[in-house]
Each structure stands twice: as C-alpha cells, then as structure tokens.
Amino acid sequence: MPLRDTVTGNNLKKNSLLWKRLLFELVESQKNDFLRSHHILNNMSLRSRIFLIISTLVIITIVGALVMVGYTYRMEGLLTRVVDEYMGGLQAAESLELAFVNQKGFVSYYFMDGDPNWLLQMERYRHIFRDEIKKSKRLATTVEEKKALDLIESKYIQYVTSKDKVIDLYKSRERETGSKLHEKVREHFFNVLKLCDVYKHLFREKVQKVKEQSLVQAGKLRIIAGSAVLTCLLYTSPSPRDLSTSR
C-alpha cells in the first residue's frame, strides 16, 4: 500500500474518532442540563412552582398572541396580493384568450356565403383583443410577463397579416389559392393560442405558490400551538415530591 494512502486512512480514523467523541460529549452535556433543571424543579417549594407555572403560562399566552397577530398580518398580505395582483392578471389573461378564440371561424363563414358582416364581426373581436393586450400590459409587473405579452402581440400581428391576405384572395375570387393559405394560417392561430395559455399559466403558478406558502405558515402555527400546550403540560405535571407529599 502506498504511504499516501496509509496517511489518508489514519487521518480518516482520527477524524471519525474525534467526531464520535464530540457527539458523546454533546449528548452527555444535554443530559446533564436536563437532569440539573429537573433537580431544581423538584427542590422548589410548591409556592415557587405555582408562581413559575403562572408566569410561564402568562408568557406563553402573550408570545402566542403576538405570533398569531403577526401571522394574521402576513396572511392578509398574501390574500391581498392574490386578489389584487394575481387574480386580476389571471382574469385579464383569460379575457385575452377568449377575445382571440372568438375571432376563429369568421373567414370560413365568409368563404361559404360571401356575407361581409362576418368580417365586420371579426374586426370587432380584433379590437377587443387589442384592448385586452393593452390592459394586460398595464397589469404586468414582471419581466417574464412583459416578454410573454410582447411575444403574443408579435405573433398575433403575423397571424392577422396572413389572415388578411386570405381575405383579399377570397375577395378577388382566388378561392383555391386562398384556401391553401388559409390552412397555413390555422397553424399561426394555434401558436398564438398556445402562447395565451402559457401566459395564463404564469398567474396560476403564482396563485399555487401563495397557496403553498399559506399551508407552510399554517403548519408553523400548529407547531407553535403544540409546543405551547406541551410546555404547559410539562410545567403543570406534578413531580414525585408533590405526589409523595400528597400521600
């Protein structure tokens, strides 16, 4: 065996023994502290024990009340953020998606009967979609949200430009050429629709994160309440001295 491997093995053994010794000393120290505190409580008079119990209960009550008040303010902040920011953005994203979906089908109806009213209705929904884009941009607070809206807007412009070419072909009686281009435009439609769904998913993730945070805080409150109850039981439980005295 090389000398270097032998030295490394000896160092590992020394470190292992050192950690075991430190762990043993720590356990012994904790054990001695517990026995010392238990001995002090047993040697206290009944009057002193009652005073200590009452003082401890008062302190636990005050601290618990302060913790509860602090958590209520934190929960209020989370709920306010969800309602004012996240839910507003989620509703705007859903309205944006709906305004886009409502544009589907009008060019096909125009292809079938040539009624220009279909194009007028489509233009109305296009106007609604542009308004929803502006509204969503005002509500956007993060760089990720703004980039998603910019991408939706750019892809939507491409979609509208291609669809207007289809309409011009239908108006000029080039129905076969327009029909072929119309099939390609459908791909643009589903791409924009997918981007709208991704944008909406951003707000759903935020709402889910707030829900998880509220669950974590509720768990902390349960731990604090359980610790307070356990502390009260430990301090109010009679010692062997009290039991022997009562006999």
State pLDDT tens for residues 203-218. Answer: 888 877 777 777 777 6
Q: What is the pLDDT of residue 3?
A: 40
Q: What is the pLDDT of residue 6?
A: 47
* Ranges in the chain, pLDDT < 50: 1-9, 12, 242-243, 246-247
Task: Quickly count: other Cβ atoms within 10 Å of residue 94's Cβ.
Answer: 14
Q: What is the pLDDT of residue 228?
A: 64
3-state secondary structure of 45: coil
Dist CA 213 CA 203 (whole Å): 15
Q: Which of 240, 244, 243 is nearest to 41 (CA)?
A: 240
Please give the model's pTM, rounded to 2 decimal places.
0.57
Q: What is the pLDDT of residue 207?
A: 76
Q: Which residues are within 8 A (CB) of 160 and not within 5 positions of it... i.e. 6 or more apart?
A: 126
Contacts 24+ apart (CB under 8 A), 178-187: 178/111, 179/111, 182/107, 182/108, 182/111, 185/159
Q: What is the pLDDT of residue 176?
A: 84
211, amino acid identity: K
